[in-house]
Structure formats: C-alpha cells, structure tokens
Amino acid sequence: MPSSPTTETSAARSLRRLLIGPPLRSRQISQEEITPVEGLSALSLDALTSVAYGPEAIIVVLAVAGASALHLVLPITISIVVLLAILVFSYRQVIDAYPGGGGAYAVTKANFGPRVSLPAAASLVVDYTLTVAVSIAAGVGALTSAFPSLTSATVPICLAILAVVTVLNLRGLGETARAFLLPTMVFIVGLLAIIAVGLIHPLAVNVPQPGQSQLPTHGLQTVGVLLVLKAFSAGCSALTGVEAIANGVPLFKDPKPVRAKRTELLLGVILGAMLLGLAVLARRWHIAPRSGQTVLSQIMGMAVGRHWAYYLVSLTITLVLALAANTSFGGLPVLASLVARDNYLPHLFALRGDRQVFANGIWALSAMSAALLIAVNGNTLTLIPLFAIGVFTGFTLSQAGLVVHWWRNRPSQWRHRAAINGLGAVITAVATVVFLATKFTEGAWVVVVAVPAFIFLFVRIHAYYDRAATTLGLGLIPAKPERKPCLVVVPVTGVSRLAEHAIAQALSISSQVIAVTVALESSDTDDRVEELQRQWRQWDPGIPLEILRTEFASVAAPLVSFVNDLRDSRHEQIIVLIPTVVPEHLRYRLLHNQVDLVLSNALRACPDVVVARVPMALGTSDGRPPGGSGVPSAKPRSD
C-alpha cells in the first residue's frame, strides 16, 4: 500500500521535492497561472508545431497522383487557413461564453445535455492522448532526419522526452510555461526567418537533397474531388491544438477570458502565417516525399542550406515538437477534473496534488501516451490517421453547440455568429467523415473503437456513483449518530515491544481488547504455543490472548473467521489493529509487514469492520513514526 506522509522516508521525500518541488499553498496557486505569451508555450505548441506534419500530410496524399498534383498544396492550405480563422473566431466565443474551461465538453453539455457531452469528452481524451504521442514522435522524427544514426533509438528517445515533460508538468503549469518559453520563441522566430529567407533569397535551392524521392513515376490515382478532400482532411491535422486554450481558460491570470482570447488570436496569426509560407515554398520548389526526410526538413535545407542555421532550427523544432505534448498536459487534467465533478470519472481526477495541479490526470495521460508510442514504434504517419478524427469530432460538436447557444441567447449579431459557427461545423464534420472513410483500414478504426469505449466507461462510472449516492443517502439529512462501544482485535506474533505498542494504542481506544495469534497444528507448534502462553502470563498485559489453531498455512483465513464470529455474536464495533514496523530506510520496506499486507487484503471482505495500523518506527525511542503522533491510521473497510 502507498506510504502515508508520516511514514515516508526522508530519502523519498528529498527525491520527491527535488523532482516535483515543495508543496504550494492554495493562495500560491496564482504563481502557476500564465500570461498570454506564456500561453503560447503552455497551451499552443501543439498547434504551432503542427506545421511539421500538417503540410507533409497534404503532400503525401497528393503525391499518389504524381508530380502534377503537387501544385494543389497551396489552394488546399489556403482553405485550411480559412478554416483556422473560423475556428479561432469560434473558440474566442467559447472562451467568452464558458470561461470555466472544458471547451467542447462544456459547450455540448450546456447546449445539448450530458449525453451529447460524453462523445465530446471521449473525443477530447483521445485527442489529447494522440497529441502527446504525435508531438513527441514528430519531434524525434525531425531529430532523426537531421541525425539519421539515431533512428534505431526512436522509441527510447520518445519515452525519455515523455518522462521529462511529465515531471515538469507535475511541478506546475506556470513553471513549465516559463521553462518552455525560450525554445518556443526561438522556434517561432527561427522558422518565420527561414520562410522569409526562402521567399526572398533562398540559399540552397539547387543543392542536392538527401534521401530518395518517393514520388511515383506515374500517378496511382487521378486528381479528383475525393483526392482533394483527402488531402484537405489530412492537412487539417495542422489545426490540432486550436481548442486547447479554450479548454484551459482557468489556467490564465485574471482577467482569464481576456488573456485567453489574446493567446487564441496570437496562435491563429502565427500559425496561419507559417502554413501559408511553407505552402508557397513547397509549391515553388516542387517539394515531394523523400525517404528519411520530412517536408519541413527539405524546405529548411533549400532555404538556408544544411549549415549551422539548419541544424540550430532543426534541434529547436525537435525540442518544441516534443514540448508540444505540454498542450495536452495543460488541457486533459482540467477536462478530467470537470468530467469527474460530473461523476463520469473517478473523483480522484478532481483532486489537486501538492503543487496545485491535477496530478492524477497528468499520470493517466502519461501512461496512455507511453503505451501508444510503444504500440506504433514512434511513427508519426501511423498516428496521423488516428489523430484528426478525435480532434475534428470535438470541433464539430463545439461549433454546433455554439449555434444552439447563439439561437437561445440571441445577443447582438447572433445570426452572423451562428452562421460562421454553422459553416465551421459543416466543414469539420465533412473532414471527419472523409478521414474516417479513407483512413479506416489504416488505423482510424482504433478511434472508432476508443471513443465508444470511453463513453461506455463514463456511463458505467456515473451509474455506479448514482447507486452509491442512493445507498449513502447523499443530499439527505441522516439520523443522529449513536455512540457504539468498540471491541479491538490485535493480531500478534509474540511478546515484544511491538505488541506492547499496539496493545497500548488499542486500550486507548477501548477497554475491550483481545490479542490473537494463529498457530498451525503440529507438535513443534504446540511447544511454541505453550512458550508464548507462558510469556503472556508472565507479562500480563491485562488482556486475553486467543490462540487460533489451523491445519492450513493461511494466516488470514483463521483471523477472518474469528472476526466474522465476533460480528455475529456481539454488538460492538469491531476494530482490527495491525502492528506494523517502519524501518529507517526505504530499502528495508520489503523485509517487514508481510502479515499486514495479507490481513489487510483479507479483511476487505468483512463489512463494517475497521482496519487500522499501528506503526512503530525503528530507530526512535518511543516507537512513533518520525514526525507523526503515533495515532493509528484507521480506515473503514466497509467501502
């Protein structure tokens, strides 16, 4: 079982403080709130760094029709930037209307009801998990493009980056945003500078590029409406992360909505400029897929040459792509806390940790993302088909919900706003359907399975909480509590200071105390039992010693049977007080308390029995845990 704060060793505490930092008081939570510029590094890196795989996704789709289709990359990108403008407008409205965060979940819950909000929540969970995996995989992909010798270590590098990002977020979003701010600014300024050089005076257009062209000699598919729709849908992966700011409004400094809207606008302007610039260069230089080279790497190489500037920006892109996973770590824990408050996730997701962050949501996201990275071997293109479906489902539901919101509230210019949101909902819905239809067999089926699975999980958890609320009488005034006498059972293995410590605590709870020990039926055991009884009489602690004889090796079964007999024959509240040892060092934990683990697990099946532990610290004169009071940590086992 997890150690309590009173039993945590100094070494473990020191390591935790080193990695996570000291606990923050609730009034210090403002230290972790962010400004609009910090919002770019904390909540916008996912969207900003999608330029590393969004344009490439368009070119990969168009390439199946041959070189003649690559000129469509610019008009398709322009249409994506128009959709970006609609989404930025939409989510700025979401921020105003729902400043409590939650994004698509909050919008659909308010306008369509809880049942429709569940698909939005499930889609966002899938989106956030894929965002982490895609961002880290894309970052490592950029690294291996610049340094091909690292390709074999793709998965270990991915997991190492994930571990670092997880620890930084456990320290708090404010610290993380400030730590990521410098590389974010270097990425934005550096990439915009490279695009400007490429547009004005490229330095290495005619230099041979590494890798082999993967452009088919003859087009495998004709250029038609379906191909254009597939390319558009694939390129829409560049819009992922646009919703994260609206999901994380509570993370900003006051006035929260104003600062969040500024960050959303900054994101839209910067991302739109990057996408258009890269599309112009890709069309001008006839960029096509190449082995071992990303599209972004090719454009950078042609713009400034493969010299120090190329490698500096490549390393920065690798870093910020990996750090783009931070967008999800800022969004999913907040979303999970809102879903948990609505009883659709375990309530532990609504609890803040020592650093005033939703640590359980961070751990859950890290675990799911690690499993996904391992499953796809860190391959970005494998993840892209999964990625956009969850993202665009959330986009569609959010904008459809806003249409209902404007129609119900009817503020000034509500028809104009509803028309824009309605258009955005239709476009994102079409993109979702096309992605689902064209990429289903390439992995998109995973999302089709995952989203309903999460919805089923949400529904089952909510049903359980409803049953529990009825049983516990939540919301009702209960009868007045009645005082009930206690009978304390203390398992012992012999006469010792540990037994004395536990019995003393038991007598402080009740005058009715029974010590019990389990003995196997054998001749050797008989001698030991007689010796124990003799020592007990000599010690005379003032309570009886009950010998539980058994022919089996189980220590727990006789004690559970004894406790059940007491429950059936007596009316007192039964408390089982288990003596435990707290060693001086963490490395000795495995050498003690095996009986405690066995008995604790076995007694879980006994309703209305309180199981408590009496810790005795080795190395202290009074047996109390360092920093503790020595009072047993009781936990009812009726749950």
Q: pLDDT class for 276, splitting at 50, 70, 90?
A: very high
**Mean pLDDT on 601-614:** 83
Which stretch, 7-11, 150-154, 196-200, has highest mean pLDDT?
196-200
- Considering only CA atoms, which of 455, 450, 246 is closest in space to residue 330? 246
> Is CATH 3.40.50 what the domain over 486-636 is classified as, yes or no?
yes
Residue 539 φ then ψ, to 5°: -70, -45
What token pair was written down for 309?
């500037």
Where are the CATH 3.40.50 domain residues in the chain? 486-636
Provide the b/e sequence for 21-37 (b: ≥16 CB within 10 Å): eeebeeeeeeebbbbbb
Q: pLDDT class for 5, splitting at 50, 70, 90?
A: very low
**Mean pLDDT on 392-409:** 87
- Considering only CA atoms, which of 618, 604, 612, 616 is closest in space to residue 632? 612
DSSP H or E stretch at residue 515: strand 513-520
Name the residue with higher pLDDT: 525 or 398: 398
Where are the CATH 1.20.1740.10 domain residues in the chain? 32-464
Q: pLDDT class for 312, splitting at 50, 70, 90?
A: confident
Residue 95 has a pLDDT of: 86
Task: Give the number of other Cβ atoms within 10 Å of residue 250's Cβ.
Answer: 15
Share of the chain above pLDDT 70, in %: 85
Which stretch, 10-14, 229-233, 502-506, 591-595, has highest mean pLDDT?
502-506
**What are the pLDDT digits (tens) for 363-387?**
999 999 999 888 888 776 677 666 6
Residue 627 has a pLDDT of: 45
Kindly list the strands in the beta sheet with 633-636, ordered across the sheet, starting from the edge strand earlier in the chain.
545-550, 513-520, 486-491, 573-582, 609-617, 633-636
Name the residue with higher pLDDT: 9 or 101: 101
CA dihedral of 315, 321, 323, 327, whole degrees rounded to 10: 160
Do the Cβ atoms of 239 and 441 come closer than 8 Å?
A: no
209 burial level (CB within 10 Å; 0-12, 13-18, 19+): middle
Residue 622 pLDDT > 60? no
111-120, 342-351, 434-443, 602-611: segment of lowest average pLDDT: 434-443
CA dihedral sign, ordered 430, 80, 310, 166? negative
Residue 464 has a pLDDT of: 92
Q: pLDDT class for 8, splitting at 50, 70, 90?
A: very low
Average pLDDT across the chain, whole number: 81
What's the CATH architecture for 32-464?
Up-down Bundle (1.20)
